[in-house]
A and B are shown apart, each in its own frame.
Chain A
């Protein structure tokens, strides 16, 4: 009967499962780097860092800092300990500068120098984006690290003067959230490892609340950065990221 055929067809369509929807393709290396640069660490944001440097399991140095980021510029204002209050560091997009409040002097910093005697280098804390300093070297690859399935993106420095010749970036394959970075020298030896933990949602995007920097050559040497008061839409002007503002 003509009315039955469409009814049976509709019933069949409801009861018989159709073909499975196509699985989302894994993210490409470019997508991963773009996500890390612009979503995890926004173009404009501010946050507070509590930095603790450990030697032989003992806390060696501790600093509290307020960080401001706007496009290619980044500024760090020291808040703790009291003796460091007034010290400021600036990446104005070209060079790194430090303002010393006690002497009112401004000095230029080298990228590879240790940041305040910790395992982090100046570039580690003041880097603006991975894509600016590094180019992708090959396709993203699956890797298992400590029993965890991750995706590896290999990056190579664009400029031979960049502190680390290569970075191996490990991200969660589903969320693209960074889990680990390893910094390799020209010879291919890994000398530093950064782990990202306690990733939570901040302003609609993931953000690690804790970052651990390990010195792979000197055991027991590590620096822990704990982030809080993250604001992805702070009101910051370009003038705030100038040497003049640094000295004020």
Chain B
């Protein structure tokens, strides 16, 4: 089959096999760099999506409604009417899959003569499966649906207070009017959060948080959708229907307003890792350039012969570039296959990077999410950079004087 190809491609393929070890070493460099680039881009994509999803589950919902102090301090009947109107709108929106009520407030947990500041989230456990799914219980259990005075704290909080499941504590906070309040509670469980955005949180039953804050209505509604992409449209419909005044006591927003920091962390990590791998790819490309120079020097008589036989300089230069391109193509494909497979496997199991590294990544377990864009980027760069770095030596080889080249052979 190879003999049916035109002369230049045929010679290029044959030449690849002439220096197998060198081809293998150069190819390995390209394969490793391109594969790593694909993996890094996949990890970056995974971190971004997981961080964003973590914030959506734990903090914001796809669309969120937050009730400010002026609303909460207003007449109870007016509050209820406002809340009913907003809830009814979202319940009627076909894209909405659920509405979670929360009372969120800053509080202080007191136990063993120690205190810890927490972001208290009063939730309805049955409606917050996503929160439960995103946390790893290290001790005890998550809130039961009928819990009334339990609280679930992070590992960091539990360590600070020296508490374990079953221990009594006092939850201190402010009412919606600003008066101090304190309620007895019990530690039900200790969790390790999926990301840094949950490490300062404490979860309590909705009723307990509402009593602490002395509020008859939730402080926020988290609206869940079929997919995050629907958030802008749902937000638009709600804004048009509810006509909430800008800067007023009731604020409507999509998850994007709350996940800015998460996205920034993910972007910084992604960019840092990508830059490192691009440097590796450049190094590999420089290696290819060196290999091509050596190749040209070694084949001076051969190239001189081709020129003397009537091949054009363009054909001779093209031969050298084509050899490099074929090598890069094979190496890139191999690298992407290998690292792509690894990315798919790690995407299922996840990689625990440990507590220290989680501070940099924003989360502890990384799950790469390969995308076609990442694949395309790695493939194009894996192919293009070696070709680019082979152009100059190929040009030099094609511009040699065939008489000088043949004289060298003799």
- Interface residues of chain A, those whose CB is within 8 Å of chain B, are 111-112, 157, 159-165, 185-187, 189, 191, 217-221
Contacts and interface: CB of A to CB of B under 8 A. Distances in A.
Given A217-B110, A217-B172, A186 B179 contact: yes
Contacts of B115: 218
A161 B177 contact: yes
B180 A112 contact: yes
A190 to B, nearest CB: 9
Nearest to A163: B180
A118 to B, nearest CB: 14
Contacts of B113: 218-221
A234 B214 CA distance: 43
Contact of A191 (B114, B182, B211): B182
B148 interface: no
9 contacts: A157-B179, A159-B177, A160-B175, A160-B178, A164-B179, A185-B172, A185-B179, A186-B179, A186-B180
A159 B73 CA distance: 12
Interface of B: 110, 113-115, 170, 172, 174-175, 177-184, 211-212, 214
A217 B182 contact: yes
Nearest to A191: B182
In this complex, the member of B110, B115, B175, B180 whose beta carbon has the largest number of chain A beta carbons within 10 angstroms is: B180
A191 to B, nearest CB: 5
The 9 A-B residue pairs with the shortest CB-CB distance, nearest first, are: A160-B177, A161-B178, A186-B181, A189-B182, A185-B181, A161-B177, A217-B110, A185-B182, A219-B113
A218 B211 CA distance: 22
A78 to B, nearest CB: 26
Contacts of A220: 113
Contacts of A164: 179-180
A193 to B, nearest CB: 14
Nearest to B170: A217
B353 to A, nearest CB: 37
Given A112-B174, A219-B113, A187 B179 contact: no
Nearest to B175: A186
Contacts of A162: 179
A186 B174 CA distance: 9
A191 B177 contact: no
Nearest to A55: B113
Contacts of B175: 160, 186
Nearest to B114: A218
Contacts of A185: 172, 179-182
A187 B177 contact: no
Given A187-B211, A217-B172, A163 B179 contact: yes
B172 A187 contact: no
B109 to A, nearest CB: 10
Given A157-B179, A185-B181, A191 B214 contact: no
Contact of A187 (B114, B174, B178, B182): B182
Contacts of A160: 175, 177-179
Given A112-B174, A189-B170, 16 more contacts: A112-B178, A163-B178, A165-B179, A165-B181, A185-B172, A186-B179, A186-B180, A187-B182, A187-B211, A189-B184, A191-B182, A217-B170, A217-B172, A218-B110, A218-B115, A220-B113
Contacts of B181: 165, 185-187
A161 B179 contact: yes
A164 B214 CA distance: 14
Nearest to A157: B179
B225 to A, nearest CB: 37
A218 B175 CA distance: 21
B153 to A, nearest CB: 17
A155 B184 CA distance: 23
Nearest to A189: B182
B220 to A, nearest CB: 21
A111 B212 CA distance: 19
Contacts of B179: 157, 160-165, 185-186
Nearest to A56: B113
Contacts of B174: 112
Contacts of A187: 181-183, 211-212
B307 to A, nearest CB: 80
Contacts of A111: 178
A112 B108 CA distance: 14
B172 A191 contact: yes
Contacts of A221: 113
Contact of B183 (A159, A163, A189): A189
A191 B178 contact: no
Contacts of A112: 174, 178, 180
B226 to A, nearest CB: 41
Contacts of B170: 189, 217
A160 B76 CA distance: 14
A221 B114 CA distance: 10
A162 to B, nearest CB: 6
Nearest to B171: A187
Nearest to A111: B178
A207 B115 CA distance: 34
A216 to B, nearest CB: 9
A191 B179 CA distance: 12
Nearest to B177: A160
In this complex, the member of A157, A160, A185, A220 whose beta carbon has the largest number of chain B beta carbons within 10 angstroms is: A185
In this complex, the member of A157, A161, A186, A221 whose beta carbon has the largest number of chain B beta carbons within 10 angstroms is: A186
